A and B are shown apart, each in its own frame.
Chain A
Amino acid sequence: NAGVTQTPKFQVLKTGQSMTLQCAQDMNHEYMSWYRQDPGMGLRLIHYSVGAGITDQGEVPNGYNVSRSTTEDFPLRLLSAAPSQTSVYFCASSQPKGINTEAFFGQGTRLTVV
């Protein structure tokens, strides 16, 4: 099982560039989410999705877009990168409607905006 796969692992962007962080899961999970982790801090929720075609904002959504056209994929788009978006980004998936609602995480994308 691949679990949750994020690509790329590392990325350097110039201010104003756009890019898409990819996230795919093969566990048929309904719920997927994107977090950012800044040095010394916990994870902050950017956007999440409770199923294909349904997305919603988390705590820090500004500057990011998401879509969920399939159950498996949940890409995160940076529209116009800013230095404040330098961070490590994690994608997670879970099946919240049930006894076990643990989240499975990808290995992260380390993004630097210069």
Chain B
Amino acid sequence: SQQGEEDPQALSIQEGENATMNCSYKTSINNLQWYRQNSGRGLVHLILIRSNEREKHSGRLRVTLDTSKKSSSLLITASRAADTASYFCAFLGLDSSYKLIFGSGTRLLVRP
């Protein structure tokens, strides 16, 4: 399978704590993206990091990318109950097909 792998599969934390999710992939990439999915809804784009970038920030989100290890991490700082959702990494390969391949996802529960 071309899918990326994410860990942990599920994460439960207290409001105010930080949440870290990891993503690994197997191919060379153009960019890597993170998406959020609330229960029963479509996916919403959070942040994109290009292959020549190592770290990117957006509000309470911090993404890192290590292309030598083919891995990425998403850190959500000072989590809130509203952050409860599933989070998916997705990567765009270097070939010309523009296929966006998704990881298996991390289910995050933030307890009030």
Contacts and interface: CB of A to CB of B under 8 A. Distances in A.
A58 B3 CA distance: 12
Nearest to A105: B42
Taking residues whose C-beta sits less than 8 angstroms from the other chain, chain A's interface range is 20 to 34
A90 B75 CA distance: 26
Mostly, the B contact residues are strand
Given A42-B88, A43-B88, A104-B45, A92 B103 contact: no
Interface string B22-41: 00000000110101000011
B102 A35 contact: yes
Contacts of A41: 104-105
B99 A105 contact: no
Interface string A23-46: 000000001010100001111110
Contact of B102 (A43, A102, A108): A43
A108 to B, nearest CB: 6
A105 B38 CA distance: 13
